[in-house]
Amino acid sequence: MRATKNRVAKNNSTQSSATKGSRAGRAGERGVALLAAILVVALLVALVLPFNQRARVDVALAANVRDELKALYVAQSALNLALAAVRADTTPEGDGQADTWAGFRAYAAGSRALFAEGSFEGDILDEDAKMNINTVVDDSGQVDEAHAKQLKRLCDALGLDQAQYDAVMDWLDGDADTRPMGAEADWYQEQGKEAPRNSQLKSLTELLKVKGITEEAFLGKEGKPGLKDVLTVSGDGKVNLNTASAEVIASLSDNLDLGMATKLVEARTGKTYEKLDDITADVPGFRTDVISDIEPLVTLKSTAFSVEIMATCNEARKGLSAEVRRAGSQVGVTRMRLL
């Protein structure tokens, strides 16, 4: 009897130990499984995070490309609007600040209402308001003395000195003779620089290569105009008195000065002259002999314009610059570059 009880107790003890062992084994297995799961999750996170980051970068790049394309479309649309403004010749006998193209900057300021996404800033400039520097020499570099004197008067009005004028003339003229304060090929070679063109300019920025022509002389400073504001390489060489600055007008003749030119700029405010005789009657100092003197150099109409556009869409920006010619009702782009 006692032996039977002992066997039962022993069996119960053995079963209890086995149960505890089984439980411990299962707990160990669960711990291993949990650890394995954590390791798998950690591995997956390590693998997924770079893909997630790359996906985010790809999405951002795609959005940027999309916005750049939209900004380019806005810029191209703005150019078409500018061409339409030039074509809308509201004063057929003269071009001035009353014309549609002259108000393009203000129009561009409200461009956000024109597009579902994006806007633009821009301006239309009258290139015939400036002196065409390429009238100083012909294709072979032969100097036109009348226009050379005009350039000298213009340089004087801007405050440029004789050395700067001489250097510009040496860059343009076709000979190898150095002016008193200028520079020809030998000086540029000594400096390791490009030799003078000795012909007409392809681009106005070429003046920055000329000896003595600093960025300040080219760009202007503190409200004072620079060469880029009064010179151009576009147009037929005639200056539009309706749009030219006082400096450009004063350069037309020895019989004109900055004071007389300023009076013309003030008198034309709010109006567009359609006949030279109207200026004679309207502006003191512009006598008939003065008008006769400058008549071969001037016009009241414009045929050459430049358009500057900068379009935005979100953070993307696209710009363009275009040269525009108008002949009657025909308006076209002669040169364009993206900025």
Say what the pLDDT of residue 1 is.
52
Compute the distance between CA of residue 247 and CA of residue 73 in angstroms, rounded to an integer.
Answer: 38
Compute the distance between CA of residue 327 and CA of residue 307 in angstroms, rounded to an integer.
Answer: 17
Say what the pLDDT of residue 307 is.
97
227, 158 Cβ separation under 8 angstroms: yes
- CB-based contacts of 6: which residues, under 8 Å, 6+ apart? none
Q: Is 310 left (phi over 0), alpha (psi -120 to 50) or beta?
A: beta
Say what the pLDDT of residue 69 is.
92
Give 172-221 as a DSSP string: HSSS-PPPTT---HHHHHHTT-PPP--S--S-GGGGGGSTT--HHHHH-B
Report residue 80 as tokens. 């078409």
Say what the pLDDT of residue 8 is.
45
Element at 271 (helix H, strand E): none
How far are the Cα atoms of 9, 174, 201, 213, 259 from residue 170, in angstroms, in the given order? 123, 8, 12, 13, 31
Compute the distance between CA of residue 253 and CA of residue 140 in angstroms, rounded to an integer.
Answer: 26
172, 199 Cβ separation under 8 angstroms: yes
286, 264 Cβ separation under 8 angstroms: yes
What is the block-wise mean pLDDT of the chain (339 residues), using blocks of 10 residues?
Answer: 51 53 63 74 70 63 83 95 91 88 93 90 97 94 95 95 97 95 96 94 96 96 92 95 96 93 94 91 88 94 96 93 92 93
Compute the distance between CA of residue 330 and CA of residue 318 in angstroms, rounded to an integer.
Answer: 27
**First and final C-alpha spacing in the chain:** 109
Q: In sequence order, which ranges of the chain are alpha helices (DSSP H)?
A: 2-87, 104-109, 145-158, 162-172, 185-190, 215-219, 227-230, 246-250, 258-267, 276-282, 288-294
Say what the pLDDT of residue 323 is.
96
Say what the pLDDT of residue 6 is.
52
How open is the CA angle 262-263-268, to the nearest 5 degrees? 100
Say what the pLDDT of residue 20 is.
54
241, 279 Cβ separation under 8 angstroms: yes
Compute the distance between CA of residue 15 and CA of residue 18 in angstroms, rounded to an integer.
Answer: 5
